[in-house]
Amino acid sequence: MFDKFERIDLGHFPTRIEYLKNISDMLKGPQIFIKRDDCTGLATGGNKTRKLEFILPDAIKNNSDLIVTVGAIQSNHARQTAAACAKIGMKCLIVLEQRLDNAPESYMNSGNVFLNKVFGAEMILCPKDRDVKEFAEEIMEDRKRDGYNPYFIPVGGSNRLGELGYIECMREILENPNKDSFSHIVVATGSGGTHAGLVAGKTFYKSNTRIIGKSIKDNKCLKIFGNLLHNPHLWHMNRHSVAKAFAVGLFFAFIPVPFQMVLAAGAAILVHSNLPLSIALVWLTNPFTMPAIFYSCYIVGTWVIGAPVEEFTFEASWQWVVESLSTIGPAFFLGCGVLAVTFAILGYFGIQALWRYSVIKAWQSRKTR
């Protein structure tokens, strides 16, 4: 099939499929694997490499001398497009869309923005009151008048040519060296090109694998936060964001309400902690651990208020919590609050200390080399 399409070699393929033993053991059921498309090789890797391998030959075929694309300030697609253009010797212009109000200086100039500069890309910031694609089209018309022949790549590299990269990825999955047969493929969905390519590949190769696309902005619990999810601090992994995530996640893990994850997400947004980690840590309390954890909360509560310990049978339901308000309720909720605060503090300062210790050890090991 792919002999009909021109392709540029930009990445390291096929990418590995790895078994995630710890997650699989924790879930006690499904066997979880991951396709390492973060290791495609171009400019620190990412899924856009596959798409660009099929898109850029079309630009060359059309005698283009300027690639124009669009994306958010810290767009991974923009970074990989800039790197691909540098590799093949073509000019690149990126129109950046600012989706975050009052973005910090570090967000506007570091990370992918810095790498775009390293790769020699020109960057233009789209005015907030303009549609980014329309603005890019106006810039392309200006460049045509300057003598350029621009070629436009849509956000995420999601078009019919870009999707070919993930038809090829589907072939790699079906022909994996371990001959593992996967019942489901779960993919993050943004601009939709990766998802569409996998679905097309499934059809072409007549696979029975079910493909599920997930978009965090469409998550029924998180979509209430809207554009707040665009805050870059919610996705960074550093000492402060991780320490605050442990504080948030461990705090709400001890709060006996049915919407712990939503509360944790809201708190993460307020304090700028790592959002995925804040939510994941809430699962410290799960159907297997709830009886022991909440019984411990009750014991702590009785100790604090000096009440006698009553016998009861714990049930993992909101109805049980409501019905228990008049009996064990005061001690139980007080104990939950005490342990929530205690573990939040321990989590925050514990991570801060461990992070500092790991940095010191790393520096010491470097000095001894």
pLDDT tens digits, one per residue of 12-41: 999 999 999 988 888 888 899 999 999 999
Q: Is 142 helix (H, G, I), strand (E, B) or coil?
A: helix
What's the pLDDT score for residue 99? 79
Answer with the residue of higher pLDDT: 130 or 86. 86
What's the pLDDT score for residue 359? 84
62: left (phi over 0), alpha (psi -120 to 50) or beta: alpha
Minimum mean pLDDT range among 183-187, 308-312, 356-360: 308-312
Average pLDDT of span 117-126: 96
Answer with the residue of higher pLDDT: 139 or 366. 139
Threshold 0.85, pTM exceeds? no
pLDDT tops 70 at residue 354: yes
Give the number of other Cβ atoms within 10 Å of residue 35's Cβ: 19
pLDDT tops 70 at residue 369: no
Residue 158 a catalytic site member: no
pLDDT tops 70 at residue 353: yes
Tens-place pLDDT, residues 58-67? 999 999 999 9
What's the pLDDT score for residue 291? 81
Q: HEC string of 55-67?
A: HHHHHHHCCCCEE
Tens-place pLDDT, residues 191-242? 889 999 999 999 999 999 999 998 766 666 666 676 677 676 787 778 888 9
What's the pLDDT score for residue 28? 84
CA distance readout (Å), 352 to 168, 243, 244: 43, 6, 9
First-to-final CA distance of the chain: 51
Minimum mean pLDDT range among 50-54, 149-153, 291-295: 291-295
Which of 130, 94, 127 is CA-nearest to residue 112? 94
Give the number of other Cβ atoms within 10 Å of residue 24's Cβ: 14
Residue 362 confidence class, pLDDT cut points 50, 70, 90: confident
- The pair of structure tokens assigned to 35 is 């396709």
Please tell me whether the peptide bond between 14 and the residue prior to it is cis, using omega within 30 degrees of 0. yes
Which of 130, 3, 108 is CA-nearest to residue 54? 3
The one catalytic residue among 75, 241, 273, 278 = 75
What's the pLDDT score for residue 232? 67
Q: Where are the beta strands (DSSP E) in the chain?
A: 17-19, 33-35, 66-72, 91-97, 122-126, 150-153, 184-188, 210-214
b vs e for 106-142, b when ≥16 Cβ sit within 10 Å of the residue's Cβ?
ebeeebbbebbeebebeeeebeeeeebeebbbebbee
What's the pLDDT score for residue 368? 66
Q: Domain map of the chain by residue range?
A: 1-214, 223-367
Minimum mean pLDDT range among 33-47, 88-102, 141-155, 299-313: 299-313
Give the number of other Cβ atoms within 10 Å of residue 208's Cβ: 8
Minimum mean pLDDT range among 36-50, 64-78, 122-136, 310-324: 310-324
pLDDT tops 80 at residue 365: no
Question: What is the C-alpha to C-alpha distance for residues 228 and 232, in angstroms, rounded to an integer?
Answer: 10
Average pLDDT, the chain: 88
Answer with the residue of higher pLDDT: 365 or 152. 152
What's the pLDDT score for residue 119? 97
What's the pLDDT score for residue 4? 81
Partners of residue 34 on adjacent β-strands: 18
Tell me which DSSP letter residue 99 carries. -
What's the pLDDT score for residue 94? 98
Fold of domain 1-214: Rossmann fold (3.40.50)
What's the pLDDT score for residue 184? 93
pLDDT tops 90 at residue 101: no
Average pLDDT of span 152-181: 90
